[in-house]
Structure 1
Amino acid sequence: MQLSSRRLRAALLAAASLTLVAAVLPPPTALGIGDPLFPELGNPGYDVLSYDLSFTYKDNKSPLDAVTVIDARATAPLERINLDFTHGKVASAEVNGEPARYESVGEDLVLTPRRAVADGGPLRITVRHTSDPRGRGDGGWVPTEDGLAMANQADAAHRVFPCNDHPADKALFTFRISAPAGLTAVANGYQVAPALRIGPSTTWTYRTRHPMATELAQVSVGRSAVVHGTGPHGLPLRNVVPAADRQRLDPWLKKTAGHIEWMEERVGRYPFENYGVLIARATTGFELETQTLSLFESSLFSGDGYPEWYVESVMVHELAHQWFGDSVTPRTWSDLWLNEGHATWYEALYADGLGKYSLERRMREAYQRSDQWRAAGGPPAAPKAAAPGEKIGLFRPVVYDGAALILYALRQEIGTPAFDRIERRWVAQYRDGIAGTADFVRLASQEAGRDLGAFLEPWLYGTKTPPMPGHPEWSAPAPAPAGKAAPGKAAPGKAAPGRTAAGKALPGGKRV
């Protein structure tokens, strides 16, 4: 048979070439970078530089049509390329402009390019796929009353788009979101251009100016009002709220500028291009520090039993994460205490400054529970893995108040001036980067003028809580017997909260 179409001949040759390549390679396998808590998360062999994500939203009952474009650099010769991706259907894949074979193995999407990628070479991956928000309770898309939002922590971004889903590989992001008329789409970063109306849908484009971990990506679609303002030194503020709730929520939105000013006085300049809160009509059980646009449940601001000082301290918790966790990102998930311990620390300091819940009281209460938390969840810097099916099980009290207790002990040991220098230098030295526990110990030792390794080791890794400097009268009770819940211990995957008379959670509850 004579092939008269040049394009058809080329396509058939490419398909034959891919078949030959696949025939000489072993079967594809799921890979990971060996994170102690998520060993199959992340992928070796390349460094992502940027993501360009396009989503077309129809309604909450339909998968979104999506295109993911990844620009990366190979860090090893690659005959195959593994991406983290699940809960979506792939229509096609390309590597460096040529069709690539694709297969799903576990929660990996494995691409076999026509030509192997050389070490150090450019790598552009294009995947056309769907992104399914239906019927999932393990992270990724979160249905709201009027649309969707994202909650990707800790290991759920790959339930939304193909990626290298580990915080150690940060990248720049561009988002292009199309939605029907009457809805508003927002995402991390800043809006590149005015929304573009084409027929019955509108497309919004956003871009980050700073690299971001996949778990911090945020896209929201809904009947939303976008409220702009100005923070310290002209910082653009962008808050996103249900349009029907705008007036009721406005007093809370006006507090953000003051919260930023309060944080800057303690740790230095806010690290990103803008900031705001995304308040969604959704039930998640947590708030989330998605970069530049923190996600909150609307019920937090309902006035139903939550004291105003508590709501503000939670807002400060998520804001503090913009420095601790977002700008400075953990090297491994075992370094989570650096995120949550610091966010809890500034949350507690803020409440203390309001005269509502003293820092010393909170730390003493944490000290009394610390051995129980360590027995249940492991030491702060070596937490136990979450139980199967408990996606947020990693977020236990030991990495919140248990980790803030380490910071309190450090301040007690070296004094407030040295401690404050550590905090400022930490977020300045590792801005837009990744850092781990060893980095923190080394930097703290340098600022204190002596080796703090021996002091911090038992606080970070011990099964028992060390004596608290300056408080010989404090004691940590023995862990509860096996099989019995320790006092104040909540259900698996939830932190042990304090309680108001109305039964609402107080600081120490799960605030991601």
Structure 2
Amino acid sequence: MSRSVRLVPAVAAATLLLALTACDDEGTPDTPGAQAGKASGAPGLGDPYFPKAGNGGYDVSHYGLTLAYTPVGNWLSGTAVVTARATEDLSAFDLDLAGLKVEEVTVGGDAAEFHRDGQELIVRPPDALADGETFEVRVRYSGSPRTITDPDGSKEGWLRTADGALALGEPTGSMAWFPGNHHPSDKASYDIAVTVPKGLTAVSNGELRSEKATGDGRTTFTWHTAEPMASYVATVAIGRYTVTRTTVTRTAGPETCPGTDSPAEAGLPVYVAVDPSQVAAGRKVLARLPEVMEWAECNFGPYPFSSAGAIIDRPEDVEYALETQNRPVHPGAPDIATFVHETAHQWFGDSVTPENWQDMWLNESFATYAEWLWTEDEGGLTAQETFTELYDHGEDEDEYENLWAFPPAKPTSAAHVSDPSIYQRGAMVIQRIRQTVGDDAFYDIVQGWAAAHRHGNAGTADFTAYVEQQAPDEDFSGIWADWLYGEGKPERP
């Protein structure tokens, strides 16, 4: 995942159980026992911190979402077409969906039996699916989408705003507005069409394919995301926005950075949507978007997506910034550090996505370290000076008082996956790698890691193995043991 800042207090892990089980079971028929000789897909993937997130037995390749939203009454109606491949013989399978009333389910165009069990929508196709078979499930649903409270007390899911709504999904909120396999390990392409009352704009991921009046006082916005996307970084933002569409020159990577002679590639489409109340405040930081993009490509390699941008809503509409793919969401005009952080997440978190939520430090460490690098390159504290300041005084600051409470790779519970250890101590791990290998090898590792797992998933073990392979003459065992996995404050390096 990656929220750049989580300032809400942690709450008991029992909140997780409430968030994942307090779902509607309206108007859904019961289902008979399993067909003999066939398996039902698991109702969760056993994630260490969100065990019911995702589902076993299939892999999604595409989501086609057709949505209509009316802010008055908070009413959402939708049809989700999920294209997937069975990874085992299936007599039934689950989709994650919190709340909302399911009206009809078909598989391969034929009516399917279904029932609800908490966040699980359990579907029984008329004919069992064979391992390797591609299938299409269509779910028609409606209702008032809910806001979900995370184990750490923050809000996600469907957030009502002053003039519309904002859908945010990290870690499990996407199940509040569409059925799917909601775990970061199952990425897919998306087509999202959203119909809203005339005068409102619906912003989502990827590229805007069309904007059409429907003839009944409403407008449909159709968005396409070709690159694989985890559902937790999918978004829909509905409201009155000031929209700017431009392009920025993109580099082909470090070879086209300042001081080189290679030509840049064609312009990258940029779509920025800003709440009118934030236009003036956001103008300065948004003007630096081309500069930030060029800087990030020079440091991390080619930008992994086909468009960029930002969504800036009102501060009272959401508590945190989030790296929604292509265009991060910000609660009010961001400062430059947060803007850099969420931009870096397009490489680390959105393109290279964690295998499970225990690997979240991989997202946040790199995005936080990007802030350190930006400050260094802007003539402020070097990354090493930031490291030293944190080591010496970090726990004295209220914001970082839990810095040494647990190691980045082993959060104590779901309520703590966004604590300072994940962000700041995680970034300290990255700086220790840089200290060990030197700058040239360090940037080769960072860019190589982003390239090797582009549009894929990777875990902590993949990362440590990659670093060791790229610097075989160095000994990283102490960094892994003390900084990444070790309890308490490590000895000064």
Q: What TM-score bracket applies, with the shorter chain setting the length?
A: 0.7 to 0.9
The one-letter code sitting in structure 1 at the alignment partner of 2:248 is G
The one-letter code sitting in structure 2 at the alignment partner of 1:321 is H
Q: For each residue in 1:331-376, what CA deviation from the matched residue of structure 2 results, as whole angstroms up to 9, or x when unmatched? A: 1111111100000001121123333444333212322447963653
TM-score (norm 2): 0.83
Is residue 129 of structure 2 the alignment partner of residue 101 of structure 1? no
Is residue 385 of structure 2 the alignment partner of residue 361 of structure 1? yes
Residue 386 of structure 1 deviates from its aligned partner by 2.4
The one-letter code sitting in structure 2 at the alignment partner of 1:256 is L
Which residue number in structure 2 is paired with residue 286 of structure 1? Answer: 320
Name which of 350, 356, 367 aligns with 1:326.
Answer: 350
The one-letter code sitting in structure 1 at the alignment partner of 2:421 is V
Residue 454 of structure 1 deviates from its aligned partner by 1.6
Residue 133 of structure 1 deviates from its aligned partner by 3.5
The one-letter code sitting in structure 2 at the alignment partner of 1:100 is A
Q: What 5-or-longer segments of structure 1 have no aligned partner?
A: 1-17, 302-310, 388-392, 470-512
Q: Secondary structure at the match of 1:48?
A: strand
Distance (whole Å) between structure 1 residues aligned to residue 386 and residue 85 of structure 2: 47
The one-letter code sitting in structure 2 at the alignment partner of 1:253 is L
Which residue number in structure 2 is paired with residue 403 of structure 1? Answer: 426
Aligned residues: 437
Name which of 66, 77, 91 aligns with 2:78.
Answer: 66
Native 8 Å contact 2:146 2:176 kept in 1: no
The one-letter code sitting in structure 1 at the alignment partner of 2:173 is A
Change (3 A) 1:75 1:182: same
Distance (whole Å) between structure 1 residues aligned to residue 280 and residue 489 of structure 2: 47
What does 1:221-240 correspond to in 2, within 5 Å? 221-233=238-250, 234-240=267-273
Native 8 Å contact 1:228 1:238 kept in 2: yes
Q: CA RMSD in A?
A: 2.5
Native 8 Å contact 1:33 1:43 kept in 2: yes
Is residue 63 of structure 2 the alignment partner of residue 43 of structure 1? no
Structure number with higher relative contact order (C-alpha < 8 Å, ≥ 6 residues apart): 2
Distance (whole Å) between structure 2 residues aligned to residue 119 and residue 27 of structure 1: 10
Which residue number in structure 2 is paired with residue 448 of structure 1? Answer: 471
Q: What 5-or-longer segments of structure 2 have no aligned partner?
A: 1-29, 150-154, 251-266
Q: For each residue in 1:181-218, what CA deviation from the matched residue of structure 2 results, as whole angstroms up to 9, or x when unmatched? A: 11111110001234343321111110102000000001
Name which of 195, 207, 223 aligns with 1:190.
Answer: 207
The one-letter code sitting in structure 1 at the alignment partner of 2:377 is G
Residue 464 of structure 1 deviates from its aligned partner by 3.0
Residue 279 of structure 1 deviates from its aligned partner by 0.3
Name which of 310, 331, 347 aligns with 1:297.
Answer: 331
Change (3 A) 1:330 1:452: farther
Distance (whole Å) between structure 1 residues aligned to residue 60 and residue 296 of structure 2: 31
TM-score (norm 1): 0.80
Identical aligned residues as a percent: 36
Native 8 Å contact 1:409 1:468 kept in 2: no
Change (3 A) 1:409 1:244: closer
Distance (whole Å) between structure 1 residues aligned to residue 385 and residue 241 of structure 2: 40
Which residue number in structure 2 is paired with residue 417 of structure 1? Answer: 440
Change (3 A) 1:162 1:452: farther
Change (3 A) 1:284 1:452: farther
Which residue number in structure 2 is paired with residue 349 of structure 1? Answer: 373
Which residue number in structure 2 is paired with residue 260 of structure 1? Answer: 293
What does 1:88-487 correspond to in 2, within 5 Å? 88-130=100-142, 132-134=144-146, 136-137=148-149, 138-233=155-250, 234-243=267-276, 245-281=278-314, 282-298=316-332, 300-301=333-334, 311-368=335-392, 369=394, 373=402, 376=405, 378-387=406-415, 393-450=416-473, 452-458=475-481, 459-469=483-493
The one-letter code sitting in structure 1 at the alignment partner of 2:236 is V
Residue 62 of structure 1 deviates from its aligned partner by 2.3
Q: Secondary structure at the match of 1:365?
A: helix
Distance (whole Å) between structure 1 residues aligned to residue 479 and residue 289 of structure 2: 34
Native 8 Å contact 2:94 2:122 kept in 1: yes
Q: Secondary structure at the match of 1:293?
A: coil
Native 8 Å contact 1:441 1:456 kept in 2: no
Native 8 Å contact 1:132 1:160 kept in 2: no
Q: Secondary structure at the match of 1:418?
A: helix
Q: For each residue in 1:310-339, what CA deviation from the matched residue of structure 2 results, as whole angstroms up to 9, or x when unmatched? A: x11110000000000000000111111110
Native 8 Å contact 1:29 1:105 kept in 2: no
Change (3 A) 1:140 1:220: same
Q: Secondary structure at the match of 2:450?
A: helix
The one-letter code sitting in structure 2 at the alignment partner of 1:405 is M
The one-letter code sitting in structure 2 at the alignment partner of 1:275 is A
Q: Secondary structure at the match of 1:235?
A: strand
Residue 246 of structure 1 deviates from its aligned partner by 3.3
Change (3 A) 1:206 1:418: same
The one-letter code sitting in structure 1 at the alignment partner of 2:319 is G
Q: Secondary structure at the match of 1:379?
A: coil
Native 8 Å contact 2:41 2:93 kept in 1: no
Distance (whole Å) between structure 2 residues aligned to residue 23 and residue 435 of structure 1: 35
